[in-house]
Structure 1
Amino acid sequence: MHEVRQELIAAPQPNRPRLQSSPSTELFDQNGGGEIPVAQTKAPPSSLPHSLIRSAIRLIEARGHLSSEARLDLCRRLLANDPSALAETGWGPEFTTLPLDERHYRISALYMRMMPTRRRQQLAAFFTPPHLCDHVFERLERYGYDVSQHRLLDPASGGAAFLVPAARRLLDQLKRQGLSGEAVVERARELLAGVEIEPGLARLSEMLLADVFDAELRAADQDSLRVVNRANGLKISGSEQFGAVISNPPYGRVFRASRATIARWQSVITDGHVNTYALFIAAALEQARAGGLVAVIVPTSFMSGPYFAGLREYILATSEVLEINIVEKRSEVFLDVVQDTCVLIMRKRGVGAIVDWQPPTTMVVTAGKSRPLGCADLPVSGRRAWGLPTASDEAELPLFDDRLSDLWEWGYQARSGYFVWNRSRARLTERSTPLAGEVPLIWANNIQPNARIELQTRKGGTTASKGQISCVTLPAGSSALIRGPAIVLQRTTNRSQKRRIVAGLVDAEAANRFGGFVTENHTIVVLPRMDTSQLVPIQTVLQLLNSSVLDAQYRRLSGTVSVSTKVLQRMGLPPAKLLLRHLDAGKDEDTALRLAYREALS
C-alpha cells in the first residue's frame, strides 16, 4: 500500500507578490503579440467539435428517442470504434484517429445532448472541453499538485471531464514506476474519486475511465475502476479528505429551496438567493484538506453580484485565492451555452493568519499562449465586490477607497427598470397618445450613448411605428412612475461590446409630456435623489457615465452580462468638487476624471 500524501501546505509555491506590488498576470492570446508567454496549455483543435455533435444528434433523433441504456450502448460502441456506431453518428473513421481526450469529450457531450431536454436542464449538464481541463491541471501543478500523491475529488463529475485527464496523468506516472496492472488499478482507486447524481452519467464516467485503464483492468481481471459514486455531490459524508477538488458544477438558481438546504449552506446564501454553484464551491472547500487545492469553473457573476456577497466572504475566510482565470469566449466553449466563466483556483487555509495576496488573473482562449493582464482587486476579507483587470488602455484605479465618492454622494440613486413586458402583455399597447391611466414606456433598445431618449415604440422609428409610442397601464399612485429627467442605461451588455455602460437621457420635456414615464426591466434608471441636492448636473453625469474611464472602471467590477444596479451605485467616483474644477477648466470628461481620481488618491 502506497502512502497517500494528503496535504499541500508544504507544496512549493511560485513567488507571488503582496497587495501593494503590481504582479504580472496572464492573458491567453491566440496570436501571442510578441509577448513572452508565462503559461501554456495544449492547443485544442482549430474548433471544438460542437457542430459535429449537433449533426450527430440530428441523425440519431431522426431514428427516434433513445433510452438511457441505448445511449450508453452507443457510447460503448463508439469507444470500441465500432463501424456501425461511427455510421450512426456520421463521424466516420477519422474519429478513431483523434486523441483520447478529444474522443472522450465528443462521446460525453453526445450523451449529454441525447438526454431529454428537461432532464438536461434540471442537471445543468454542460461538459468541460479538454483544453480547458488541461489548463486547470497545469495551473494546479504550478501550486504543488501531484496526481500520484494527492487524492483528487470531482463532486459533480458529469462525463468525467476532469477524472479522465487525471487518470491519464496518473497512468503515465505509474507506468514509469513499473507497477503491475493490478497495482495500478489499486493505486488509482486510492487517488481518484468522483460523485455524479445522474445514474447514466455515473456509468458513462466509469466507461471512460475503463477506456484509459483498459490494459491494467484486463490484467487485474476487472471490468471497471469503480471510483465514481452515484450520489449528490452536496451530500458527501465526511470532510477534509482530499488534496485537490476540481469541478465544473451545475449553474442555476434554486427556487423554493428547502429549509434544510438554507440552514446547511447559509454561509454562502445572500438575501435568500440560492445558487447551485455557490453551494458546490462551499462543498469543495469543505472536502479539501487544509492546504489542499480547489479549482472550479464557474460564472464570473459571483465576483460582483450582490447575491453572492456571502459566497465571496466565505471564500476569503476559508481559502487563499490563487488565480482567477477568465475564459475569454462566451460561446462555443461549452456546447449550447453562452456564459461568461472563469477558473477560480484556491488553497484552503490551514493554521495561521490571513495572507493578503493579490491573485493573478488569466484570460483563457482556445489557444495556449499567455501574456500579462494585471492584478485583481480583492479585499482581505468581507463581502464587497471583486475587481478584475481589463485589457483597456486606461490606467487601473482603486475601485473602493474611502477617499472616493459615488453616485449616491453626488445626489443620485440607481434603480432597476420596472416593467416586465412578457409577464404583463395585457397592460402594453402602442398608440400616439397614452390614454387615462397609461404612461409611456422606455425600452432598452431606445437608448443610445450620450443621446436624448425619444418616446417611441420598441422598434424605434420604423415606418410601421412612426408617430406611435409604447404605453403601459399603471396603477394610480405607483412608485414606479418617473416624473422628472433621468438617465436610463441598458442593463444587459457584455464584455465583447465596445461599451459596457450605454446611457441616454430622458429630459424634462419628454418626462413631463404625458405626466411621467416608466422603463422596462432591461434598463437601470439613475434618478436625482429627492432628499438632497445634486452636486453634479444630470447632463454631466450622463457624459461621465459614457466616458472611457468609467466604462473601464465598470468593466473591472462586472462579471456578468447584466449591469448591476448596486455595483453602479457603489462604484468609486472622484469627489464632485475636484471633478467639476477640472471640467470648468475646459477639460474633457475622460481627462477630468483621470485628474480628479489622481488628485483624490494622492
Structure 2
Amino acid sequence: MSLDLSFAEQRRISTAGSITAEAGQVFTPRVAAILLASMLDLPDPKRLRILDPGAGTGILGAALVSLIREARPGTSVELVAVERDSRLIPALGETLHEVDSLANVSASIIEADYLLDESGLLGGHEALDDPFDLVIMNPPYSKLAAGAPERLALRQLGVEAPNLYAAFMALGLSQLRPGGQLVAIVPRSFMNGTYFESFRRFLLNRSALRRIHTFESRNTVFRDSGVLQESVIVTLEAGGKPGPVDIGVSLTNDPVPHHYTVDYEKVVLPTDVHKFIRIPDEHGEDIPADKTLAELGLSVATGRVVDFRARSYCLENSGDETVPLIYPGNFNSGVITWPRGMKRQKPQHFDARDDFSRKQVHAPGRYVVVKRFSAKEEPRRVVAAVWDGEGPVAFENKTNVIGPIPDAAVAIGLSIWLNSGPLDRLFRTFSGHTQVNAGDLRTLPIPDEDTLRKWGCDREPELLGQDEIDRIVTEEA
C-alpha cells in the first residue's frame, strides 16, 4: 500500500505560508518529491535504512517510502528524519505518523542540527551511527562564511563546503554504506567554478554520478516558492565506479521527463583539472577547438578596477595622467566604444597618478574583453569585444581581460569564437548562471592559433550577424 501524499502536500503549503523560512530554506513540492524518489535505484534487501536530513514537513521521506512500498512490498523500511526547526516538528510528526502506519515501516524524528551534530561538533545521535542505504534531501541554500562552525566542522572531515547545501551533500554521502545512493535537489552552482572545486573533488573521489536532472524553466520545480537559482537533481552512488550518466530534462509543457544517456567522460572531462561537471547536449556537436588560452600563451584575469574602492580615481573628464576606463557598458557589437558619449552613466577616465592606481592599469596592447555578467535577455552567456588602444588602459572589475594579443587577426578570431553559438552551447553544459568567471574562460576549449588567425584575417573586429559568425566557426574550421 502506498501513501496519499496530498495530505503531506497540504502541510507543506500551509507551513510555508505560516512560517518565515530561514535563508535558503525551501519546502519541497509533491511533484518534486516524487521525482527525487524515482531517481534512486531501489536495492532489494530485506531491510532498507533511509535518511532525510533537513526533513522540513517530511514529504521527501514519505514519497520515497511510498515508492518502496509499491516496488518492494516485502522489504522492511526504517526512515530517520532530521530537523532542527522546532516550528516544523508538528507537521513533520503528522507526516511521519502516516508513514509509520504502513506495514513493515518505522519512522522516527531526530530534532537536531544535522551538520553540527553529525559532524561530531555537538556529539551526534545513535540512530545515525549505522550507515544508510539511501539518502534523500532538499538542503537549505545559504553561503557558509570561512569561519562558520558548520564549515569548520566539515573541514575536519576533509571537505571544503562553502554552502549549506554542499555541506549537507558531503555529510550525507559520508553516511552511506558502500553502494548506497544519495539523491539531492540543489543549485547548479557547484558544478563549475573554482569556488566549489574542492567540494567537487570530494564528491567525485567518493562517489559516482549516476543521474543528473535539469529543468527547462527555472520556476518549474519551485513554482510557488520564488526560487531564482537554477536547480538540478543529482544521484550519487557511494564508492561507485564511473559509468554512463542518465540525463533527464523536465520540459515546461510535458509532464513526462525526457531522458538520454551520455558517457561519463563527457560529463567530467579526463583533461579537466578543475573537475567541472558538464551536462552535454543529447546530440552534441563537433567543436573545432582543443586548446586552452594558456596553451596559446594567453592569460586571462578579472578587470582590476573596483570602482567603489577607487572612486576618487574614476573621473568624468580626462587629465594629464588619465587612461581610458572600460566598463561592460562600453561593449558595442564586438568592439569597445570609448568614450561612450554625452549620455554615459559611468566615468570614462581613470587617474593613474600614483602607485596604487598604476597597479590597476593594463599595459598598452590589444585585448579581448569579456563581460563577467550577461543580462538574462541576452541570447548568449559569453559576450566578448576587442580593445585595440594605443596606450595604457584600465578595465573595470565586471570584465574579464584576455591578452595582450599581438596579432590582430588572432584577437578578432578569438572574439568570433567567444561570441559564437557553438561556444555558447558548450558554455551552458557546465554553467547554469549568467556569470562568466576568469576560471571558466581558462577551461574553455579554444581553436588553435592558425584557425583563429584564419577566421580573423581581413575582417574588422565589429561582429557579423549571428548566423554568419556560426557559419564561420562551423564551416571554416
Task: Give the TM-score taking structure 2 as reference length.
Answer: 0.79
Query: 8 Å contact 2:34–2:64 — kept in the other structure?
Result: no
Equivalent in the alignment of 1:427:
312
- Name the structure where helix makes up a greater proportion of residues: 1
Equivalent in the alignment of 1:67:
none
Distance apart, 1:295 and its partner CA:
0.7
Q: Which amino acid aligns with 1:413?
A: S
User: Aligned to 1:162, what secondary structure does the other structure show?
Assistant: helix
Question: 2: distance between equivalents of 1:453 and 1:502?
Answer: 15
Superposed counterparts of 1:194-233, under 5 Å: 194-210=81-97, 212=98, 216=101, 226-233=108-115
Distance apart, 1:502 and its partner CA:
0.8
Question: 1: distance between equivalents of 2:369 and 2:6?
Answer: 51
Equivalent in the alignment of 1:296:
184
Q: Which amino acid aligns with 2:202?
A: Y
Matched, 1:192 2:79: yes
Q: Which amino acid aligns with 1:518?
A: F
Return 483-492 or 364-373, whichever deviates more: 364-373
Query: 8 Å contact 1:298–1:343 — kept in the other structure?
Result: yes
Question: 1: distance between equivalents of 2:185 and 2:402?
Answer: 34
Cα distance change of structure 1 residues 535 and 286 upon mapping to structure 2, 3 Å threshold = farther
Query: 8 Å contact 1:101–1:165 — kept in the other structure?
Result: no
Q: Which amino acid aligns with 2:411?
A: I
Equivalent in the alignment of 1:522:
398
Equivalent in the alignment of 1:340:
230
- Name the structure where strand makes up a greater proportion of residues: 2
Return 331-340 or 487-496, whichever deviates more: 487-496
Cα distance change of structure 1 residues 439 and 398 upon mapping to structure 2, 3 Å threshold = closer
Equivalent in the alignment of 1:361:
247
Cα distance change of structure 1 residues 332 and 289 upon mapping to structure 2, 3 Å threshold = same
User: Aligned to 2:275, what secondary structure does the other structure show?
Assistant: coil
Bigger radius of gyration among the two: 1
Cα distance change of structure 1 residues 508 and 232 upon mapping to structure 2, 3 Å threshold = same
Query: 8 Å contact 2:180–2:238 — kept in the other structure?
Result: yes
Distance apart, 1:546 and its partner CA:
0.9
Q: Which amino acid aligns with 1:306?
A: T
User: Aligned to 1:409, what secondary structure does the other structure show?
Assistant: coil
Equivalent in the alignment of 2:389:
508
Q: Which amino acid aligns with 2:379?
A: K
Distance apart, 1:298 and its partner CA:
1.7
Equivalent in the alignment of 2:337:
453
Superposed counterparts of 1:113-152, under 5 Å: 114-115=20-21, 120-121=22-23, 124-140=24-40, 143-145=41-43, 149-152=47-50
Identity %: 23
Indicate the RMSD between aligned Cα atoms, in angstroms. 3.9
Cα distance change of structure 1 residues 369 and 193 upon mapping to structure 2, 3 Å threshold = same
Give the unaligned 5+ runs of structure 1. Answer: 1-96, 178-183, 598-602
Query: 8 Å contact 1:412–1:534 — kept in the other structure?
Result: no
Equivalent in the alignment of 2:6:
99
Give the unaligned 5+ runs of structure 2. Answer: 119-123, 460-467
Distance apart, 1:450 and its partner CA:
1.7
Cα distance change of structure 1 residues 445 and 99 upon mapping to structure 2, 3 Å threshold = farther
Question: 2: distance between equivalents of 1:111 and 1:440?
Answer: 54
Equivalent in the alignment of 1:265:
155
Cα distance change of structure 1 residues 592 and 138 upon mapping to structure 2, 3 Å threshold = same
Superposed counterparts of 1:337-416, under 5 Å: 337-349=227-239, 355-366=241-252, 367-372=254-259, 375=262, 376-379=266-269, 383-390=274-281, 395-397=285-287, 404-416=290-302
Distance apart, 1:379 and its partner CA:
4.2
User: Aligned to 2:361, what secondary structure does the other structure show?
Assistant: coil
Q: Which amino acid aligns with 2:384?
A: A
Question: 1: distance between equivalents of 2:85 and 2:45?
Answer: 26
Distance apart, 1:534 and its partner CA:
5.1
Question: 2: distance between equivalents of 1:263 and 1:200?
Answer: 26
Cα distance change of structure 1 residues 424 and 365 upon mapping to structure 2, 3 Å threshold = farther
Query: 8 Å contact 1:547–1:589 — kept in the other structure?
Result: yes
Pick from 490, 497, 521: which aligns with 2:371?
A: 490
Question: 2: distance between equivalents of 1:137 and 1:550?
Answer: 35
Name which structure has the greater RCO, CA cutoff 8 Å, separation 6+. 1
Cα distance change of structure 1 residues 151 and 543 upon mapping to structure 2, 3 Å threshold = same
